[in-house]
Chain A
Amino acid sequence: MQITNELVSYVANLSRIKLDENEISEMQSQMSEIVNYMDILNQLDTENIEPLSHIFNITNVMRDDEVRDSYEREEILKNAPAHTEEAFIVPKTVD
Chain B
Amino acid sequence: MDWEIVMGLEVHVELATKTKIFCSCTTEFGGAPNTHCCPVCTGMPGTLPILNKQVLEYAVRAGLALNCDITRYNKFDRKNYFYPDLPKAYQISQLYLPFAQNGHVDLKTKSGKDVTIRIHEIHMEEDAGKLVHSMFGDATYPDYNRCGVPLIEIVSEPDFRETEEVIAYLAKLKSTFEYLGISDCKMEQGSMRADVNLSVRPKGSKEFGTRTEMKNINSFKSIERAIAFESKRQIALLESGERVIQETRRWDENKGKTFAMRSKENAQDYRYFPEPDIPPVSISEEEIQHYISICPEFADAKAKRYVSDFGLSEEDAGIIAGSKYFAQLFEKTVELCNDPSEVRYWIMTQILYFMNERNVQPEDIKLAPEKFAQFVNIVKAGRINRQVGKTVFENMFFGSDDFDIEKFIKDNELEQVDDSELISKTVQNIIESNPKAVEQYKSGQTKIVGFFIGQVMKQLKGKANPASVNKAVNDALENLKED
Are B34 and A89 interface neighbours, CB within 8 A? no
The B132-147 residues at the A interface (CB cut-off 8 A) are 132-134, 137-143
A34 within 8 A of B: no
Residues on B with beta carbons closer than 8 Å to the beta carbon of A79: 44
Are B134 and A70 interface neighbours, CB within 8 A? no
A62-B141 contact given A70-B37, A77-B34, CB 8 Å threshold = no
How far in angstroms is the closest Cβ of chain B from A72? 9
B47-61 interface bits toward A, Cβ cutoff 8 Å, 1 = contact, 0 = none:
000111111100000
How far in angstroms is the closest Cβ of chain A from B90? 11
Are B141 and A61 interface neighbours, CB within 8 A? no
Most buried by B among A53, A59, A73, A90: A53
The B104-145 residues at the A interface (CB cut-off 8 A) are 131-134, 137-143
B470 within 8 A of A: no
A70-B266 contact given A63-B50, A88-B142, CB 8 Å threshold = no
A59-71 interface bits toward B, Cβ cutoff 8 Å, 1 = contact, 0 = none:
1111111111011
A54 within 8 A of B: yes
Are A65 and B140 interface neighbours, CB within 8 A? no
A95 within 8 A of B: yes
Most buried by B among A90, A91, A92, A95: A95
The B273-287 residues at the A interface (CB cut-off 8 A) are 274, 276, 278-282
A14-B269 contact given A62-B50, A63-B53, A67-B19, CB 8 Å threshold = yes
B interface bracket (residues with beta carbon within 8 Å of A): 35 or more
How far in angstroms is the closest Cβ of chain B from A58? 5
Most buried by A among B32, B34, B263, B274: B34
A interface bracket (residues with beta carbon within 8 Å of B): 35 or more
Are A59 and B19 interface neighbours, CB within 8 A? no
Q: Could you say which of A13, A65, A87, A90 contacts B34, with CB atoms under 8 Å apart? A: A87
Closest A-chain residue to B39, C-beta based?
A71
Count, A-B residue pairs, CB within 8 A: 131
- Secondary structure at chain B's binding surface: helix, strand, loop or mixed? loop
Are B281 and A91 interface neighbours, CB within 8 A? no
How far in angstroms is the closest Cβ of chain B from A67? 5
A86 within 8 A of B: yes
The A22-71 residues at the B interface (CB cut-off 8 A) are 51, 53-56, 58-68, 70-71
Are B141 and A16 interface neighbours, CB within 8 A? no
Are A14 and B19 interface neighbours, CB within 8 A? no
A95-B276 contact given A63-B24, A64-B53, CB 8 Å threshold = no
B36 within 8 A of A: yes
Q: Could you say which of B50, B140, B271 contacts A90, with CB atoms under 8 Å apart? A: B140
The A1-22 residues at the B interface (CB cut-off 8 A) are 13-16
Residues on B with beta carbons closer than 8 Å to the beta carbon of A67: 18-19, 24-26
Are B261 and A87 interface neighbours, CB within 8 A? no
Closest A-chain residue to B85, C-beta based?
A93
Complexed CA–CA distance, A79 and B133 (Å): 21
A93-B50 contact given A59-B281, A70-B35, A76-B42, CB 8 Å threshold = no
Are A70 and B261 interface neighbours, CB within 8 A? no
The B347-368 residues at the A interface (CB cut-off 8 A) are none
Closest A-chain residue to B31, C-beta based?
A70
Are A87 and B138 interface neighbours, CB within 8 A? no
A92-B279 contact given A70-B37, A84-B141, A87-B33, CB 8 Å threshold = no
Are B84 and A61 interface neighbours, CB within 8 A? no
How far in angstroms is the closest Cβ of chain A from B94? 12
A54-B142 contact given A65-B17, A70-B37, A73-B34, CB 8 Å threshold = no
Most buried by B among A16, A58, A90: A90
Closest B-chain residue to A52, C-beta based?
B274
A87-B143 contact given A61-B50, A92-B134, CB 8 Å threshold = yes
How far in angstroms is the closest Cβ of chain B from A34? 16
How far in angstroms is the closest Cβ of chain B from A62? 4
Are A92 and B52 interface neighbours, CB within 8 A? no
Are A92 and B280 interface neighbours, CB within 8 A? no
Are B38 and A87 interface neighbours, CB within 8 A? no
A interface residue numbers (CB < 8 A to B):
13-16, 51, 53-56, 58-68, 70-71, 73, 76-77, 79, 84, 86-95
Known: A61-B279, A86-B141, A95-B250. 8 other contacts (CB 8 A): A15-B89, A53-B274, A54-B280, A60-B282, A62-B51, A66-B18, A90-B84, A92-B138
Of the A-B pairs whose beta carbons lie under 8 Å apart in the complex, a sample of 16, sorted by A's number, is A14-B82, A53-B274, A65-B53, A65-B55, A67-B24, A68-B25, A71-B39, A73-B35, A86-B32, A87-B34, A89-B140, A90-B140, A90-B141, A91-B140, A92-B133, A94-B140
The 7 A-B pairs at the shortest CB distance, nearest first, are namely A87-B141, A65-B54, A68-B24, A62-B53, A90-B84, A86-B33, A54-B279
B interface residue numbers (CB < 8 A to A):
17-19, 24-26, 32-39, 42, 44, 50-56, 75, 80-84, 89, 131-134, 137-143, 250, 261-264, 266, 269, 271, 274, 276, 278-282
